[in-house]
Amino acid sequence: MEYQLKIEERPGYVIATGWGDHTIANASRFLREAHEACMARGLDLLVLDFRLDGPSLGPAGIFAVTAGQAEAGKKMRKIAYVDASSREESRKRFAETVAFNRGVNVRLFGTLEEACKWIEAPG
Determine the pLDDT at residue 84: 84
Residue 39's pLDDT band, with cuts at 50, 70 and 90, is very high
What is the per-residue DSSP string for 73-84? HTTSSEEEEE--
In the prediction, which pLDDT does 86 show?
A: 83
User: Over 90: is that where the pLDDT of 82 sits?
Assistant: yes
Torsion angle (degrees, nearest 10) of CA 18, 9, 62, 83: -70
Position 123 pLDDT exceeds 80: no
Q: Of 111, 43, 99, which is closest to residue 76 (Cα–Cα)? A: 43
Contact yes or no for 46/17 (Cβ under 8 A):
no
CATH topology for 4-120? Transcription Regulator spoIIAA (3.30.750)
Parallel, antiparallel or unpaired: strands 4-10 and 106-109: unpaired
Q: Where are the alpha helices (DSSP H) in 22-103?
A: 24-41, 59-73, 89-101
Mean pLDDT rounded to a whole number for the chain: 95
Question: Hey, is 103 helix, strand or coil?
Answer: coil
pLDDT of residue 1: 83
Domain ranges within the chain, ordered by starting residue: 4-120
